[in-house]
Amino acid sequence: GQSLEQPSEVTAVEGAIVQINCTYQTSGFYGLSWYQQHDGGAPTFLSYNALDGLEETGRFSSFLSRSDSYGYLLLQELQMKDSASYFCAVSSGSARQLTFGSGTQLTVLP
């Protein structure tokens, strides 16, 4: 089976930088992705890493180390609207099943 671990809560102030880590255990790994979910809303895709290294998309960056089964999401220049839950997800197996972590609740303080 698959298992993912990420912190349950992170708090930071506006303008700061925050890193949300994710470690995973799975077989047939294809890639690691990140999703954002505001309260009661639908998860929305942020980024996907299939290869080792850093992917940058505006204020958000995502990193993957396949050898360490580890990745992180880096959020820069935090804004109040970034307060949300952030989920890492592994794509694995022949079906490329998408399995999510339990989520990290990010609170951005003024």
Find the binder of another protein among 24, 26, 33, 61 (CB under 8 A): 33
What is the rounded distance in angstroms from the CA atom of residue 48 to the CA atom of residue 30?
10
- Residue 59: CB atoms within 10 Å: 13
x/- string (CB under 8 A) for another protein, residues 43-62?
xxx--x-x------------
Please choose, out of 18-26, 38-46, 59-67, 76-84, the segment that lies near another protein by the rule CB under 8 A. Answer: 38-46
When asked if residue 10 is in the footprint of another protein (CB under 8 A), the reply is no
Residue 81 has what DSSP assignment?
A: G
Residues β-bridged to residue 71: 22, 64
Residue 9 Cα distances to 6, 31, 75, 83, 103, angstroms: 9, 24, 15, 11, 8
Minimal distance in Å, beta carbon 15 to another protein? 28
- Chain contacts with another protein (rule: CB under 8 A): 30-31, 33, 35, 40-45, 48, 50, 87, 91-93, 95-103
